[in-house]
Amino acid sequence: MKKNHFLPGINEITCCLAAGAAVLLAASVPALAGGTFVMTTAVAPFTLDPSGNMDHQGGMISLSIYEPLVAFAGKSPDSGFVPALSTEVPAEANGRLSRDGRTYTFPIRKGVKFHDGTPLTAADAAYSLLRAMITSDYSLFVKPILGINSLRGKDEAFVVAFAELSKAVKTDGDNLVVTLKEPYQPFLSMLASKPFIMSRAWAAANGEWDGTEATWKKYFNIKAANSGLRAKANGTGPFKLDTADLKTGRVTLVKNADYWGTPALLDRLVFTPVGKETTRLSMLEMGDADYADLSRSCLRDLADMKNVTVKEGPPSQTVSVFVFKFKVAAQDNPFIGSGKLDGKGITPDFFSDLDVRKGFAYALDYENILRQVARYEARRITSPVPRPGAPSVSPYVYDAAKAEEHFKKAFGGRVWEKGFEFSVPYALGDDLGQQLWERVAEALKKINPKFVLRPAPRTMEDFVANGEKLQLQLPLFWTYFEPEYPDNYNYAYVMLHSEGPVSKFTGYSNKKIDQLCEEALRTPGDKREELFTGMDKIYAEDAPYILLYSSNKFKAFRKGLTGTEPDNWLYYSNGFMDFSKVDKP
């Protein structure tokens, strides 16, 4: 991310197209009385596997199934931590954190059972953390634990041995012991943001890694579509999986009667995807859904619904961007037209030209986008690292003269002379995505009538079937980034570092940016501003993508529910609710 207008991804840009496993059916599911909460979403979850490249909807559901080692204590990143599946939060004061800040000891809670009835052990916790590092090339935990960005080098050869992994993550009796390469400021925030503890025996029985050295490479960076846990789940959380239908995208959770903590109030959660926003709106009005995933374009209709309430939440941490892919696959690419700068297409490396990127950045009427698409309930993002010290104004605002200046320089003047033509897909029924691309097309044509961008509707079935190919073909797309944990370094690394998901996907690289990111990781939070300012300057110089806006959070519910207030929206999970506290009297 979250509205998956880009075709989704909770946080992994490179899997966003594949993660758009979307709405295949739009069946109305009655909102049953007696503790059943029905949530209708724009897209379906692509995977329920918490260790891989999770999409937005899968992440939301898994928060109710799986649990972390430690949890956030309050409503801000500075509130500290409380025990969860670990009975203590490691600190020097309690002897659970070494003096050098590298070794964390987590006493695993006794008496906790997985949903299949088997007991949680320290070995399960160690397995889960190792699996999280192995199954995703973009795992959060590889950097702090091993000091590298990926388990594989540029030549695709593994740069670590299993012995290094098992030495860094191991058990000591009933304790999980994790030793970092060096002190890593946001480590506990990362753990608190990622509920992923699962049963090793259960995972292996369902075709996943068995936890041994002999098989770990086989499961490295496994595709989400190939996970044996894509439609299965077995955590320790307040809800457990009842059914998950990959064809319809409908997922049902039921209350975990053996939960070790405070039990959930609801008996059942039903997540059902419905592609058309007007249908989701109607389901909410008629009482067929308790919550509907809606855009701000629906607010006027919602205001007229007597049995519906709208809750405005805190500012979103989500950043929306237009991403340029510096070089796309040329063969059989339907999006780049002729594949040449002849007025009928674009070259595969079209966006590798700095002047093309800057031309686009100055051509867009951002006020128009905020007014017509975001309904002004959003703020323009001015920095790849949003923060109080970020620039007050974006380096790129609408300026037709500057757009023309850069386009006339692009590819030695051929772009301006010949023009270009290419297309961008959006999901059929995604009204917001359609509106956005139409505004972009209008803006480009105003700069030069020879500039043609064609928004092209596609079914979500098509996106799912061709997701992997689309990742290589799309020259420009709209996506969201949602931070995976509340620390500005997460923004910096993901959005700018050459080894981060965005740059690895687009082909952008800047050594100075990499240096600044590494320095920021080792610099106390209150002394990072100079480093972030340096990143802002390079973003302005390189225009690797176009930062758009961040919308304020809002949710629409049927009246009569409790536990839906914004103070029950988990800030660290980008506004998901804690469903265990929701009730339907």
- Dump pLDDT digits (tens) for 97-140: 999 999 999 999 999 999 999 999 999 999 999 999 999 877 88
Sorting pLDDT into bands at 50, 70 and 90, what band is 319?
confident
Q: How far apart are CA 175 and CA 166, in angstroms?
A: 14
pLDDT reading at 10 higher than 60: no
Q: Which pLDDT score, from 0 to 100, does residue 54 have?
A: 61
pLDDT digits (tens, 9 = 90+) for 161-177: 999 999 999 999 999 99
pLDDT of residue 232: 95
- The residue type found at 91 is A
Asked if the model's pLDDT at residue 7 lies above 60, the reply is no
Q: How many whole angstroms separate alpha carbon 12 and alpha carbon 137? A: 10
Q: What is the DSSP string of 511-535?
A: HHHHHHHHHHHHS-GGG-HHHHHHH
| pLDDT beyond 80 at 289 | yes
| Mean pLDDT of all residues belonging to the chain | 88
Phi then psi dihedrals of residue 477, to 5 deg: -150, 165
pLDDT surpasses 90 at 331: yes
In this predicted structure, the answer to whether residue 505 has a pLDDT above a threshold of 70 is: yes
* Secondary structure (3-state) at 545: strand
Whether pLDDT at 324 is above 90: yes
| pLDDT of 560 strictly over 90 | yes
DSSP single-letter state for residue 24: -
Q: Which amino acid is at 163?
A: A
Q: Write down the residue that tokens 């008996």 correspond to.
A: 267
Percentage of the chain lying above the pLDDT 70 cut:
90
**pLDDT for res 43:** 82
Q: Which has more confidence, 307 or 26?
A: 307
Please give the pLDDT value at position 547: 94
Residue 269 phi/psi, 5-degree rounding, is -120, 130
Domains of the chain: 13-65+230-315+553-581 (3.40.190.10), 70-199 (3.40.190.10), 319-551 (3.10.105.10)
What is the token pair recorded at 568? 């029950």
Please report, rounded to a whole number, the percentage of residues in the chain having pLDDT higher than 90.
64
Rounded Cα distance between 107 and 469, Å, is: 45
CA distance linking residue 145 with residue 321, whole number of Å: 30
| pLDDT at residue 482 tops 90 | no
| Residue 328 confidence (pLDDT) | 96
Are 275 and 428 in contact by the 8 Å Cβ rule? The answer is yes
Grade residue 16 by pLDDT with cuts at 50, 70 and 90. very low
Q: In this model, does residue 87 exceed pLDDT 90?
A: yes
Residue 320: count other Cβ atoms within 10 Å of its Cβ.
Answer: 26
Question: For position 431, what pLDDT does the model report?
Answer: 75
Instruction: State the pLDDT at residue 461.
Output: 67
Do 26 and 42 form a contact (C-beta atoms < 8 A)?
A: no
Task: Provide the 8-state DSSP code for 52.
Answer: S
Residue 15: per-residue pLDDT: 38
Query: Which residue(s) pair with 312 in the sheet?
Result: 554
CA-based nearest residue to 163, from 214, 232, 202: 214
CA 84 – CA 456 distance, rounded (Å): 47
pLDDT band at 30 (very low <50, low <70, confident <90, very high): very low
Question: Mean pLDDT across the stretch 458-470?
Answer: 74
Q: 232-258: per-residue pLDDT in tens?
A: 999 999 999 999 998 888 999 999 999
Q: CA-CA distance, 354 to 362, in Å (whole number)?
A: 12
Mean pLDDT on 85-98: 97
Distances (CA, A) of 465 to 24, 61, 459, 460: 12, 23, 10, 9
Contact criterion met (CB below 8 Å) for 248 and 464: no
Q: What single DSSP character describes residue 86?
A: B
Indicate the pairing of strand 81-83 with strand 36-41. unpaired
3-state SS, residue 560: coil
The string of DSSP letters for 353-416 reads SHHHHHHHHHH--HHHHHHHTSTT-EEE--SSS-STTS-SS-S----HHHHHHHHHHGGGGHHH
Confidence of residue 476 (pLDDT cuts 50, 70, 90): very high
3-state helix, strand, coil in the chain (%, to 5): 35, 20, 45
What is the structure's pLDDT at 225?
A: 78
Within a 10 A sphere around the Cβ of 78, how many other Cβ atoms? 10
Q: Per DSSP, what are the bridge partners of residue 387?
A: none
Confidence of residue 14 (pLDDT cuts 50, 70, 90): very low
Amino acid 524: pLDDT: 84
